Structure 1
Amino acid sequence: MTTITTRTVEYPADGLTMFGHLALPAGAGRRPAVLLGPEGPGLNDVLRHRADALAELGYVTLAFDLHGGRWFTDPQEMLARCTPLLADPDRMRAMGHAALDVLRAEPRTDPGRIAAIGYGTGGAIALELGRDGVDFRAIGTINAVTTGRPGEAARIRCPVWAGVGSEDPMMPAAQRDAFAAEMQAAGVDWRLMVYGGALHAFHHPPIDHPDQILLPGVGHHPRHAERAWHDLVGLLTECVPVTE
């Protein structure tokens, strides 16, 4: 396993001081980069470990923050913050650009080889950055088959891969169909993977936290979690391979 380095990076966004997790691969040269977005509850150790895993594969990775360092254990608190955010594309884009600026400013980042991966709310932000015309090499989302304002998906310039559980009540079949129709109408190179029997946040392992409350329809699916990670890494390998 290669040696990586990590550090917390502070930056302003959405009226808050955000605390992102930056993971750097071994070596000194520029590398392709990944902007990594968390689910609605916020940035936690699960996502930090995923950033570290991507750095071990050779990607400069910034796991960005949504809530100024908070991680919500109460879903109602989370929804009170995320619901208006998800309804405001310009606000999502501003948050995403703030994090992207941090990633681009890192000297190890190759600014011409950046991908975005996001889960839930973080995935919606990744898609909105694509709809805003950011020149990503790839966009991958889990639990985020969100649609945007009419016509703006035509600004997406890279392949889009989306994964979702078949039994996810927050991303039901009608939402999946709307996302597919939007991508197809815009001429995007898109793929949608539906993981049979999986609920919302199927990729996220259980957290032993005494205050954690889960919404109905949320549950871990270990086999599909592993498959989804493999599929995301495959997207990066295809679209933004690590080269020395």
Structure 2
Amino acid sequence: MVKITTCTLEYPADGLTMTGHLALPAGSDRRPAVLLGPEGMGLSDVERRRADALAELGYVVLAFDLHGGRYLGDPEEMLARCMPLLSDPDRMRGIGRAALNVLRAEPRTDPDRIAAIGYGTGGAIALELGRDGASLRAIGTVNATTTGRPGEAARIGCPVWAGVGSEDPIMPPAQREAFTAEMQAAGVDWRLTVYGGALHAFHHPPVDHPTVPAVGHHPQHAQRAWHDVVSLLTECLPVTEVLGAMPQTGP
């Protein structure tokens, strides 16, 4: 096991005090960095483990917060907060920019080599950072083939990869087609992976509380999506000194 260090960071965003999880690889040199966004329920141990796994590969990683340190396990409460947020690009960008600024300020971060990876709401925020012109080396999303305001995708200056389940009614074929049309019209270097038979949040391990309909874990595709995320980072944000081999199973 490669030694990493972790800590909790508080920072303001969206009128709240956010609580992020910072994971640092061994050493003292500057490293490429990853901003990691969670599903709509909020930051949990799932994202913390993913941040730690990426730190073991040599990345500085900040898993950012959505709800002021809270995890919204009640679907109605989660939707009441996330639906207005997802319809407000400026709010999403504010949350993303605040976290990105924290990551850039970390002394171990190479500010010229940052990627944004997000799941669900966190993925939508990663895309909005790109549409806002943030300097990123890659954007990767799972369950977030969301579209933005007309013309703003032209500001995306890096490759975009998106993964989605074929049976996800929250991101249905029409939504996926609108997303790819937006990326294509903007001249973005984009890729879309559709995981056959997978529902929404297929990547997320089962939870012990109610969820919105059409959510379901798919173990095989969860592993494939993790490998696809790591492959995107390896291509667009290579680590000069690889600290460890890619985990055979995702966190």
**TM-score clears 0.5:** yes
Which residue matches 2:74?
74
Which residue matches 1:18?
18
Measured in 1, the distance between the counterparts of 2:91 and 2:174 equals 25
Measured in 2, the distance between the counterparts of 1:130 and 1:194 equals 22
1:43-122 alignment runs, 5 A limit: 43-122=43-122
Measured in 1, the distance between the counterparts of 2:211 and 2:133 equals 35
Say which of 226, 229, 233 aligns to 1:229: 226
Measured in 2, the distance between the counterparts of 1:19 and 1:99 equals 10
1:67-216 alignment runs, 5 A limit: 67-207=67-207, 209=208, 212-216=209-213
* CA drift at 1:109: 0.1
Query: Gaps spanning 5+ residues in structure 1: where?
Result: none
Task: Say which SS state the counterpart of residue 48 (structure 1) adopts.
Answer: helix
Measured in 2, the distance between the counterparts of 1:214 and 1:223 equals 21
Measured in 2, the distance between the counterparts of 1:85 and 1:238 equals 31
RMSD: 0.5
- Identity fraction in percent: 81
Structure 1 residue runs of 4 or more that deviate by more than 6 Å after TM superposition: none
TM-score by length of 2: 0.95
Task: Say which SS state the counterpart of residue 230 (structure 1) adopts.
Answer: helix
**Counterpart residue type for residue 97 of structure 1:** R
| 1:21-49 deviation digits (Å, cap 9, x = unpaired) | 00000011000000000000000000100
**Counterpart residue type for residue 180 of structure 2:** A
Measured in 1, the distance between the counterparts of 2:14 and 2:40 equals 15
Query: Gaps spanning 5+ residues in structure 2: where?
Result: 242-251
Aligned residues: 241
